[in-house]
Chains A and B, each alone.
Chain A
Amino acid sequence: MSEFYITVWNGPGRRACYDFFMRVGLFVTCLVDLMRPSIGFAALKLLEDAGCEVVVPAAQTCCGQPGWNSGDRRSARELAEKLIDEFEDCSYVVVPSGSCAGMIRAHFPEVFAGEPGMLARAERLGSRTYELTEFLAKVAHRPRVSASFDGTVTYHDSCSGLRELGVKGEPRKLLSRVAGLKLVEMEECETCCGFGGTFSIKYGDISSEIAERKCAHIAASGAQAVVLGDLGCMLNIEGRLRRRGDAKTRVLHVAEVLAGEL
């Protein structure tokens, strides 16, 4: 009989409990922590408004992506294990970044390939990890968007969010509920902005050239702001826009727009 309970718990039971309590762990990410704390608070507000109990593990740092993408598996593994330890007791992990969420969901299982115990933990956590807009649109019980924005924006699809997690309609759906906001699509909204993590400082000239093309598409769209969901793209695009002499076009994280905290 006890086996029956274990089966139910591991199957629908655990999921039902997670769904009921909605204890969401917010993984702020290292770049938000250092560069744009307001985005972390905007994400926190959106999750709380959606009725979630949000915990922010204090010892969180980095998901290990820099090491993983640089070929340093050991560094990546250490940080991945640390993150799993910190977030394992949450119903969901929500991340205001497609690339960090992608690291957890798509790549943690690769990091722990060949370690059955850790692999199972990584897969369990991965299956409960969401990019912020994806979570709000697909999982949260009552996502509330009460913000307003006066103007036209265009959305840049960050690579990892789009291609590793399949985030495409979610941010647009949520943005459509922002009062006064008009979304226009730019050419090649799915093309990389040229950031690529350490690529941006190893091959600065190529990276800047790719960013320049993105900026040209943003400018051609006529939008007053480009909205996106990843800090790397944000710094890259903003840095290039300002360098090419565009002081006006705003670069906004989707969390800031949705929370109305601009």
Chain B
Amino acid sequence: MHVQSMHFKPRATAALADETLQSNLQKFNSTGFTALRAKAVADFGPGLFEKLRGEGAAIRDRALANLDAWIERFESEATRRGATVLFAETREEACELLIDVCRRHGVKKAIKSKSMLSEEAGVNEALEAAGVTPVETDLGEYILQLAGEPPSHIIAPALHKNKGEVADLFAERHRAPRKTDIPLMTREAREVLRGHFLSADLGLSGGNFLIAESGSGLIVTNEGNGRMVTTLPRVHVCLTGIEKVIPTLEDFSTLLRLLTRSATGQAISNYVSLFTGPRGALERDGPEHMVFILVDAGRTGLVGSDMQEMLRCIRCGACMNHCPVYRAVGGHSYGWVYPGPMGSVLTPAYLGLENALDLPQAATLCGACSVACPVKIPLPELLRGLREKQVDRGLRPVKERLGIRVWSWFARRPRAYALAAAIGAPVLRLLGGTDGLIGTLPFGSEWTRGRFFPAPRSWKTFRALYATRRRSSGGT
């Protein structure tokens, strides 16, 4: 996927000015996943859910603490059951391995269920270049493939589009009369996709988790397309990140309870598909060949670092659903595969700090993300840590760094500070005029473009007034 993460600010500004997008986001924010999650947590019992979050975090930490060993265990169990396990160090290598599989099996058409890693690696472009036609079958992803757009949310990829936009798109691309009834539109897409399901040579899925003890891959879906993708074609490739390995199915049962409740507020998703090896001798369906491509693409760089907690992520999307910035600017502003708080940590971590300068900064550090996170990733702390790395590497503007240094120079010198404040208060108060509101703030036009800056209410600072009061009351 084309990286645009260095252009966050202009993209966000454009998103704020896009009325259609804003109305689509507004609908998502008011009727969307946060309310569903809140209800699911209330039904489950808030105290119990808290406990479950702790267990989820502990499971992920245990898996990550011995990641290499669990990956080896997964590899040997999956191989023993007839699957092939391949490893890719980079996103490019992931595409090469996949194309290699396609060549070996004479693949002309590949159907896909949702895989964020395939977005990371730009799999669709790579397949097309190699003469293989990729077809997205997740409804949201299918819409975006027709529109030629990247996803804007990790589990609801097309939430930035409204029904009318999709109706126009279907009418144009399906060459069919325009429909605005959602069940009818869905049926139309199903009819188009049905042909692809039956004629595809390869099914490409992601993997929510990989189970080390059984060598199984696993997807959590709602539309049923994942079942088709993983069972109908001759070859099934599961493409996912190496950090997705967990020790046991028991671990998965805990994580599943967290995942669906945090993502969509469901107690369980419509489908939970577990795939273990290719079709067996006595089995009537399933692929002839089953391949796992496990991709590193920056993940081992986080293992053992101060950012390891980020690898706990189970891709539920709760952090972005609760993020005031994401809710205002939408996912495309972030410029890469992963938006919102988790993306603001992952994008600089995977693509380099210098390629995503805004992302760690574009957060109010309000903490709503970490409170919602099912595996307790301390996202604000990680963002703060990235800010520190930016400062250490000289990646912040001189003006900003100097500003903080000047502030702290004064703050360490109470007399100088008191003097500056004694001058600042009346100056700002004068700027505020009779209504006490500053319309244009020197050095603060970003503030006053959308707001007034309320002026100080007193000519004197608290410290000055307090000192006067102490003197007059005979204190020291």
Give chain A's interface residues, CB within 8 Å of chain B.
28, 30, 32-38, 40-41, 56, 58-62, 64, 66-73, 75, 78-79, 82, 110, 159-160, 163-164, 190-192, 194-213, 234-236, 238-240, 242-243
Additional pairs, 5, CB under 8 Å, beyond known A62-B411, A163-B367: A33-B463, A59-B414, A203-B12, A208-B450, A235-B454
| Closest 4 pairs between A and B when the two form their complex, measured CB to CB | A208-B450, A196-B364, A204-B446, A71-B387
List B410-432 residues whose CB lies under 8 Å from chain A.
Answer: 410-412, 414, 417, 421, 424-425, 428
Q: Which of B427-476 contact A (CB under 8 A)?
A: 428, 435, 437, 444-454, 456-458, 460-463, 465-467
A206/B447 contact (C-beta < 8 A), A58-B467, A67-B407, A242-B452 known = no
Identify the B interface with A (CB < 8 A).
Answer: 9, 12-13, 16, 324-325, 328-329, 361-368, 370-371, 381, 384, 386-392, 396, 400-401, 404-405, 407-408, 410-412, 414, 417, 421, 424-425, 428, 435, 437, 444-454, 456-458, 460-463, 465-467
B408, B421, B448: the one within 8 Å of A79 (CB): B408
User: Can you sample 13 A-B contacts with CB below 8 Å?
Assistant: A38-B458, A41-B462, A70-B391, A71-B386, A72-B408, A75-B407, A191-B366, A192-B368, A202-B400, A204-B449, A204-B450, A239-B453, A243-B452
Which residues of chain B are within 8 angstroms of A205 by Cβ–Cβ distance?
Answer: 12-13, 16, 446, 449-450
Give the complex CA separation of A247 and B387 in angstroms: 38
Does B387 contact A61, Cβ atoms closer than 8 Å? no
Cα separation A60 to B415 with both chains bound (whole Å)? 10
B455 smallest CB distance to A (angstroms): 8
A40 and B451 contacting across the interface, CB-CB below 8 Å: no
A190 proximity list for chain B (CB < 8 A): 368
Q: In the complex, A40 Cα to B458 Cα: how many Å?
A: 12
CA distance A196 to B72 in the complex (A): 44
Report the separation of the CA atoms of residues A211 and B453 in the bound assembly, to the nearest whole angstrom: 13
Q: Which residues of B contact A64 (CB under 8 A)?
A: 408, 411
User: Chain B residues near A195 (CB, 8 Å)?
Assistant: 364
Chain B nearest Cβ from A127, distance in angstroms: 20
CB atoms of B404 and A66 under 8 A apart: yes
Q: In whole angstroms, how far apart are the Cα atoms of A34 and B405 in the complex?
A: 19
Could you tell me if B408 and A75 are in contact, using CB atoms closer than 8 angstroms?
Answer: yes
Cβ of A206: which chain B residues have Cβ within 8 Å of it? 12, 16, 325, 328-329, 362
The answer to whether B454 and A163 have CB atoms under 8 Å apart is no
User: Chain A residues near B452 (CB, 8 Å)?
Assistant: 238-240, 242-243
Determine if A208 and B451 form an interchain contact, defined as CB atoms under 8 angstroms apart.
yes
- Tell me, in angstroms, the Cα distance from A69 to B380 when the chains sit together: 10
B326 to chain A, nearest CB (A): 10
Per a CB cutoff under 8 Å, which of A62, A194, A201 touches B364? A194
Query: Is B396 a contact partner of A243 (Cβ separation < 8 A)?
Result: no
Query: Are B447 and A211 in contact, CB atoms less than 8 angstroms apart?
Result: no
Closest residue of chain A to B459, judged by CB? A37
Shortest Cβ distance from B476 into A: residue: A58
Q: How far is the CA of A240 from the CA of B447 in the complex (A)?
A: 10
- For B370, the closest partner residue in chain A by CB is A163
- A199 and B361 in contact (CB under 8 A), knowing A59-B414, A160-B367, A209-B328? yes
Across-interface contacts of A192 in B (CB, < 8 A): 324, 364, 366, 368
Cα A236 to Cα B450 in complex, Å, equals: 10
Q: Which residues of B contact A160 (CB under 8 A)?
A: 367
Q: Return chain A residues, CB-CB under 8 Å to B386.
A: 71
Q: Given A61-B411, A203-B9, does the pair A236, B451 have CB atoms closer than 8 Å?
A: yes
Complex partner residue of A33 from B328, B389, B437, B462, CB under 8 angstroms: B462
Are B466 and A199 within 8 A (Cβ)?
A: no
Q: Which residues of A contact B384 (CB under 8 A)?
A: 68-69, 71
Instruction: List, in ascending order, chain A residues with CB within 8 A of B447's CB.
Output: 200-201, 204, 207, 239
Establish whether residues B365 and A69, one from each chain, have CB atoms under 8 Å apart when the complex forms: yes
Determine if B16 and A163 form an interchain contact, defined as CB atoms under 8 angstroms apart: no
Cβ A159 vs Cβ B414 within 8 A: no
Assembled-state Cα–Cα distance A163/B451 (Å): 26
Query: Complex: how many Å from CA A240 to CA B451?
Result: 5
Contact A58 B368 (CB under 8 A): no
Taking CB atoms, residues of chain A closer than 8 Å to B371 are 163
Query: Are B412 and A79 closer than 8 Å at their CB atoms?
Result: yes
Q: Which residues of A contact B425 (CB under 8 A)?
A: 34
A192 to B381 alpha-carbon distance, docked (Å): 17
Closest to B451 in A: A239
Residues A196 and B424 in contact, CB atoms below 8 Å apart: no
Q: Which residues of A have CB within 8 Å of B453? A: 235, 239
Q: Which residues of B contact A69 (CB under 8 A)?
A: 365, 384, 387
Contact across chains for B366 and A110 when beta carbons are under 8 A apart:
no
Whole-angstrom distance between the alpha carbons of A202 and B325 in the complex? 13
Are A37 and B387 interface neighbours, CB within 8 A?
Answer: no
Bound CA span A61–B461, Å:
12
Q: Do B12 and A238 touch (CB < 8 A)?
A: no
Contacts of A197 in B (CB 8 A): 364-365
Also in contact, A30 and B363, with CB within 8 A (given A37-B460, A243-B452):
no
Residues of A within 8 A of B424 (CB): 34
